[in-house]
Amino acid sequence: MSIFDIAGVNPTLVSRLMVELDDVSTIFDRQLASDFPPVNTLSVHVGRYRGKMLRPTLVLLSGMAVDESVVDSSHYHRTIGAVTEMIHMATLVHDDVLDESSVRRGGATVNALHGNEMAVMLGDYLISNAFHLCSTIGDPNLNLRLGEITNTLCEGEIVQLHNRENVDLDEDMYLTIVTNKTASLIGGCCELGARLAGADLKIQKALHEYGINLGVAFQITDDLLDLTADQQELGKTVGRDLDMGKLTLPLIRALRDGDDQRQIAALVRDRCHAQLQERLQDDGWFESARETAMDRVASARRWIGDLPDNAATTMLHLLADAVVQRRF
């Protein structure tokens, strides 16, 4: 299932995006190309992780929503698209080390194949190249904003790690973590796409908030899939959050408001996946989390209510809805 199969998306826009995203991939690959074969072997592996390219798509769409014609001629949008995808790949590679995951997009992870050490260094190489690529645009404010975003992202990851095995983690802190580690980059994509298209600060902020809400909805849904999905279908290791002592929204709510909190805490402690899954389903906690994600989607859509009425804006609306409905 791809972003471009979403019902109602303008086919002409999809064709344009496909061409643009091909360019993004070319920029991405060219940036990572090295004189050293072992480095290229790793980069090829990362290429396989590249799936839906949600982040570059948001950079491009946000630019087009502001000014339909701008992205065709904008090397900057494509460059920043590649930068954000590189940052995202770095987080995937390092997350797989953190989570000891062995499967991603239906294939072996870098850590599983080349060891944790190689995965650590590959992530660093991706981060470094993302900043280098961003610098080629020559606008110091872009670098500054990218640095702010990645600082926030790392803070989110550190706070999340710190709260592993913390059964008292509350919903506010969970949302702070999710906002920082996931939504900050997605919000940044939308904001930078708008900025590069010449949007004023008000519109940049609107698109930033759209992205933040979309990102939170996306992560809540991702966390839900880790509890509910079939591993084969999802193409990555599932049940990892619980194994790693990472509490997510349905569990946080069940532990705070559930009928038998002590029993649920015991199931968490003993990593009883199947029983927990059944319990959370029966007690409506999956549905409760899904509703929160849908509320965030509604917020995201409200933030872009005043954008020009064009195909890109329509796709941003459709994309927001799709985030909570499908498994991409």
| Cα–Cα distance, 198 to 306 (Å, whole number) | 16
Query: 229-237 long-range CB contacts below 8 Å, 24 or more apart?
Result: 229/327, 231/103, 233/327, 234/327, 235/103, 235/104, 235/105, 235/106, 236/101, 236/103, 236/104, 236/105, 236/106, 237/99, 237/101, 237/102, 237/103, 237/104
- Give residues with Cβ within 8 angstroms of 85, minimum separation 6: 24, 28, 50, 53, 55, 56
Q: Does 46 bind its own copies (CB under 8 A)?
A: no
**Residue 232: burial class (beta carbons within 10 Å; 0-12, 13-18, 19+):** exposed
| Cα–Cα distance, 324 to 261 (Å, whole number) | 27
Q: Does 240 bind its own copies (CB under 8 A)?
A: no
Among positions 98-127, residues that touch its own copies (CB under 8 A) are 98, 115-118, 120-125, 127
Residue with Cβ nearer its own copies (133 or 255)? 133
Q: Does 36 bind its own copies (CB under 8 A)?
A: yes
Q: Does 143 bind its own copies (CB under 8 A)?
A: yes
| Cα–Cα distance, 259 to 282 (Å, whole number) | 12
- Which amino acid makes up residue 8? G
Residue with Cβ nearer its own copies (153 or 297)? 153
Q: Which segment (15-23, 137-145, 299-307, 308-316) binds its own copies by CB under 8 A? A: 137-145
Residue with Cβ nearer its own copies (67 or 155)? 155
- Which of 24, 54, 92, 153 binds its own copies (CB under 8 A)? It is 153
Residue with Cβ nearer its own copies (51 or 115)? 115
- Which of 45, 78, 88, 94 binds its own copies (CB under 8 A)? It is 94
Closest of 82, 70, 105 to residue 21, by C-alpha: 82
Q: Closest approach of Cβ 281 to its own copies, in Å?
A: 30
Q: Does 83 bind its own copies (CB under 8 A)?
A: no
Q: Does 85 bind its own copies (CB under 8 A)?
A: no
Size of the site for its own copies (CB under 8 A): 48
Q: Closest approach of Cβ 279 to its own copies, in Å?
A: 28
| Neighbour count for residue 151 (Cβ, 10 Å) | 12
Burial 290-302 (b: 16+ CB within 10 A, else e): bebbbebbebbbe
Q: Does 131 bind its own copies (CB under 8 A)?
A: yes
Q: Closest approach of Cβ 162 to its own copies, in Å?
A: 4
Q: Does 165 bind its own copies (CB under 8 A)?
A: no
- Which of 12, 73, 140, 172 binds its own copies (CB under 8 A)? It is 140
Closest of 216, 182, 173 to residue 303, by C-alpha: 216
Q: Closest approach of Cβ 54 to its own copies, in Å?
A: 21
Q: Does 157 bind its own copies (CB under 8 A)?
A: yes
H/E segment holding residue 104: strand 103-104
List residues near its own copies by CB under 8 A: 34-36, 38-39, 42, 90, 94, 97-98, 115-118, 120-125, 127-129, 131-140, 143-144, 146-148, 150-151, 153-155, 157-159, 161-162
